[in-house]
Chain A
Amino acid sequence: MRTLWWKIMALALVLAASITALRTPLAPAIVYASGGPFAPGGNSASVIGYRTHFMAAPVRVFLENGGQFVEASSTVVADDTHLTARFEVPVGLREDMSDLVVVAPGHGAMRLFAAFYNPEKGTGAVDGVTDAPQQGERAGFVFPNRNILYETIRNLNFHVPMWFTMMLLQTISFVFSIKVLGSGRWLDDRAAVQAVNASLLFAILGLITGSIWARATWSGWWTSDAKLNGAAVTVLIYLAYLVLRGSVTDLAKRARLAAIYNIFAYVLMLLFIMALPRMTASLHPGSGGNPAFSQYDLDDSLRPVFYAAVLGWMGIGTWIFNLQYRLARIENRHDEERLR
């Protein structure tokens, strides 16, 4: 156990981030609203909240359509998570879809986007609209609660660090491969291959966890998406590296050939994971122009937890690589003694 501190640090970060990721409550949110097309006139909708406390607070329910608000004429609260609201929908609302906005003290403004279809579009309602409601403060340290995602937003702190760790280990491998080209040492080649081995562990964990997350949110284990296919192709490229390296028997030739391939593989990885997905629209966050760190993708409450998780998992990945590298060094010494 050489230089203990960073290993302890990595474990502590992963532990702290994982506990926070699992224990932090979600913000209250509206997850469902029934009701077909809302034509002008009387319409009612039953609304389901998640982690809401409708009973405790005076709840106000609104429709929002093109910046115009319509307050519910009556609201019947059944329990903390269920209520029924009746709207007198005015003539002439502008947009196709109306949002549902529920305002309650301590809850902030909870919004269900595109909750109701508006079959008769106009140029803006004249009567029956009110001002925008007061937002109110949201209480405590909570994770954002988005419909479709719900609790799975916590996966951000588990799934994404896998990919960051993979990229770090492949960068380490890349550096060792460049060293091979300079020095021709077998040991550097062994280090490069061990880093790729460790990176593949995290890549495959990233693929599996991503697939499970996709099943629960996008309803498919896999979608044909630039980011997903790019990640899969990256894994195939690195597996091909292992196959190629294993198929050359001459040790000196093997080291150089593998190093050259690995440098190309790294560039392809950056291209497939970082560059190409940003050029296309995608279900996956961080695609279509914006990096994943924009304010729309990462809430302020998630950010510190996510960074801790990424740093911690990078540390654990480096630790795994470090163990394999030390073992490879012993194997290397053993091989050289045998060759002599």
Chain B
Amino acid sequence: MMRNGSARLLLLLALLPAWTAAHAQGEPDWLVDTLYGSGKINTVITVVSVILLGIGLWLFRLDRRIARMEKRTK
């Protein structure tokens, strides 16, 4: 399961540069409004949220691993 997950992530990351290169030009309005307004403070909010969400997801994963272990040792 672990192997499968990291293989999929590897593929996704390998495709990422191609995808971002296609989207790098131009600045849509919604992005200018949300990221550039008010001294770009929303960028900081987004970054902090991403970190908290990432660690939250990680906790879920760890939780699942522990639950699986608990089931096996019963």
Chain A interface residues (CB < 8 Å from chain B): 18, 22, 26, 50-51, 149-152, 154-155, 158-159, 162, 201, 204-205, 208-209, 211-213, 215-217, 219-223, 232, 235-236, 239-240, 242-243, 246-247, 320, 323-324, 327, 330-331, 334
CB pair B27 A219 closer than 8 Å: yes
The bracket for how many chain B residues form the interface is 35 or more
Majority SS at the chain A contact face: helix
Tell me how many residue pairs across A and B have CB atoms closer than 8 Å: 106
Chain A residue with the shortest CB-CB distance to B68? A331
With beta carbons under 8 angstroms apart, the residue of B20, B36, B62 that contacts A323 is B62
A220 to B21 alpha-carbon distance, docked (Å) = 9
What are some 10 contacts across the A-B interface (CB < 8 A)?
A22-B44, A151-B43, A151-B44, A215-B35, A222-B20, A222-B24, A235-B13, A243-B10, A246-B2, A327-B62
A242 pairs with B2, CB closer than 8 A = yes
Rounded to whole angstroms, the CA-CA distance of A204 and B12 in the bound complex is 12
B11 to chain A, nearest CB (A): 10
| Chain B contacts with A in 1-33, Cβ cutoff 8 A | 2-3, 6-7, 9-10, 13-14, 16-17, 20-21, 23-25, 27, 31
Nearest chain A CB to B66 CB, angstrom units = 6
Shortest beta-carbon distance from A145 to chain B in Å:
8
A212 to chain B: which residues have CB within 8 Å? 43, 46-47, 50
Which of A26, A204, A243, A247 touches B54 (beta carbons < 8 Å)? Answer: A204
